[in-house]
Amino acid sequence: MDIIPGCALKRKHCQDRSQLPSTKRRRLFLKQDRCVTQAAHEALEGASYQSGIGHEDHVDMEKLPNPVPRGVFNPVTVPSGSPSYVIFDLETTDLIRGGQMPHITQLAAIELSSGQTFNCYIRP
């Protein structure tokens, strides 16, 4: 009768558990989640942090663009005297995938106190 050492038994148990369908599903879910998160970060940061940036012959930007001027915002006066809530909803073509930003296709809003609504479809 062979005696299996504790570390070999533990390794065998881990290997058996890694072959279960539930474990494989979990790995695929985590991989998909990492891909979506990475695509969102790349869309926000651009290609600045990819390897090899700045080493190619063709440079797509020759100088830094001018900064966006700060907006001038004036206070809004509400005729009824008290502000109310407006709830809005954006409909888009998709999620951020592979660096592709989705397009807004519909904008809808409702003002809670009066019930006035706004609905506008937008061509991407």
What would the 3-class secondary structure string for 26-41 be?
HHHHHHHHHHHHHHHH
Among the residues of 48-91, which ranges form H helices?
A: none
User: What's this model's pTM, rounded to 2 decimal places?
Assistant: 0.35
> DSSP per residue over 2-27, as a string?
PPPPHHHHHHHHHHHHHTSHHHHHHH
Average model confidence (pLDDT) across the chain: 79
Tell me the per-residue pLDDT of 58-92, one tens digit each, with 9 for 90 and over: 655 666 667 767 777 777 776 776 778 889 999 98
Please answer whether residues 86 and 108 qualify as being in contact, where contact means their C-beta atoms are separated by less than 8 angstroms.
Answer: no
Q: For residue 52, what pLDDT band results from cuts at 50, 70 and 90?
A: low
Residue 120 DSSP code = E
d(CA 120, CA 107): 5
| pLDDT at 62 (0 to 100) | 65
Residue 114 pLDDT > 70: yes
